[in-house]
Structure 1
């Protein structure tokens, strides 16, 4: 027997979301949920409509109007409507905060800031460092920033 997840009500005898997913996470703000099917992730709304296509290896936290998405090419960003605004291409990213995210292209590249359209924001004027020995944190002027890396290192969130 297949073990799929959905949301059905036993008290009212109807199915809210068809039982078709391998995993359904909690609904964000009671409106959107990350779902998994056949080892791919997407996002659905309360009616079961697909908001972010089920094609990503991973979808992480929704912050500042953007989902962090990961494919085989790396991390990128999709907006609330599920449009891939910044294609997956980065090794490490933070979530957006006040319209800005920290990204790094690869291990040998520097960290830099981008805006929500992917435009680089004056990468040379910021003090950004990545400390592998301190749990893989990204610092900006000694303030911790969240990060996501393609090698599944620990994710740390803004505080």
Structure 2
């Protein structure tokens, strides 16, 4: 379809919808909120700005003025001012000073930060009061997952809890995050699983090298240049015949063979043949797949929800996926209909009822939490 763009608010929205190859829901709702909106230009004596307004007054939209915004984490959003990072809350109040050259997002009440501008400077964990966890710094720190976080000192790894107590000694050559109560570790000639009490379940095999996380009761391992999967007792359930294997997600695991990608079930049976040039893990019943340089979405039967013809599609999160169409991004629902058409230059995943976006190089965010119980 040939698009005739007119410079008005209404034609901007309609043109984007009509030019798309996906259907548009005329009455889109998420969490009971009406997602119909207007995007308006505000011309002042300086640079023009934009305002995003939803018909549903329960939806809160920030000012579109920020140089950078992260997805919401523990109700705060990391942003940037004068080259430094700090945090605002969902009312756009500054809640942590803009003094950090590097700081992550909050996970389980703590955020990883670096003391200083140099990448080699020590790192630690801060809570929302700005207190340094345990009063200690480390060479490297990793986000909290399931109550513990990885730390590194002198190229050795261990785990601490949310009180700053060392629960797994800092003596390992490698250790992952905890899932299903266990982490994969390597120490000198040993490898295996370790729990949060520091109890090891050792695995001895000269030719099998454990890889990745303990996830959905399984561990990926490497044998020479091929990969397989074993269970928590180190019994092989998928032989090492694949060039690459991910971790099981929603009962399926992606594999690479002959430079093509497909999916296996927990018995090692091919349930989606290897015909894709790349793919991502299943999330909420769907997976993004690529053929050539175009991305689509499949369901667990390998059927297309969206055929591969887009430049970018994210995984579904809270029922929405980011899709890029014509250089702009919007949200689709699991019926492959636009609920917010592609108008944004950048768009982060819908997380905890909030999403961040970019219009004309400036960031803003939308908060749908007021609709949660409607």
Q: If the TM-score is normalised by the length of the shorter chain, which range does it land in?
A: 0.5 to 0.7
Gap change, CA 1:48 and 1:139, over 3 Å in 2 = closer
- Say which SS state the counterpart of residue 62 (structure 1) adopts: coil
Contact 2:253 2:281 in 1 (8 A): no
Q: CA deviation at 1:8?
A: 6.5
Which residue does 1:93 correspond to in 2?
313
Residue by residue, what CA displacement relative to the aligned partner does 1:3-50 show, whole Å, maximum 9, x if unpaired? 3333479x99x8632442111222225x32111101111110111111
Q: CA deviation at 1:96?
A: 1.6
Contact 2:321 2:349 in 1 (8 A): no
Which residue does 2:278 correspond to in 1?
58
Q: CA deviation at 1:111?
A: 2.0
Question: Which deviates further from its counterpart, 37-46 or 81-90?
Answer: 81-90
Q: Distance in 2 between matches of 1:84 and 1:96?
A: 14
Q: CA deviation at 1:91?
A: 0.6
Contact 1:128 1:140 in 2 (8 A): no
- Say which SS state the counterpart of residue 281 (structure 2) adopts: strand
2:345 to 129, 133, 141: 129
Which residue does 1:20 correspond to in 2?
241
Is it true that 1:143 corresponds to 2:365 in the alignment?
Answer: no
Q: CA deviation at 1:89?
A: 1.0
Gap change, CA 1:89 and 1:19, over 3 Å in 2 = same
2:265 to 35, 38, 45: 45
- Say which SS state the counterpart of residue 61 (structure 1) adopts: coil
Gaps (5+ residues) in structure 2?
A: 1-223, 358-374
Question: What TM-score, normalized by structure 1, do the two folds share?
Answer: 0.65
Question: What TM-score, normalized by structure 2, do the two folds share?
Answer: 0.30
The structure with more strand, counted as a fraction of residues: 1
Q: Distance in 2 between matches of 1:97 and 1:114?
A: 11
Q: Distance in 1 between matches of 2:228 and 2:237?
A: 8
Contact 2:322 2:349 in 1 (8 A): no
1:77 to 297, 300, 304: 297
Contact 2:297 2:305 in 1 (8 A): yes
- Say which SS state the counterpart of residue 345 (structure 2) adopts: strand
Contact 2:322 2:348 in 1 (8 A): no
Which residue does 1:111 correspond to in 2?
329
Q: Distance in 1 between matches of 2:312 and 2:284?
A: 18
Structure with the bigger RCO (C-alpha within 8 Å, sep 6+) is 2
Is it true that 1:6 corresponds to 2:222 in the alignment?
Answer: no
Gaps (5+ residues) in structure 1?
A: 131-137, 146-159
Q: CA deviation at 1:90?
A: 0.8
Number of residue pairs aligned between Structure 1 and Structure 2: 130
- Say which SS state the counterpart of residue 318 (structure 2) adopts: coil
Structure with bigger gyration radius:
2
Q: After superposition, where does 1:26-41 map in structure 2 within 5 Å?
A: 26-29=247-250, 31-41=251-261
RMSD: 3.2
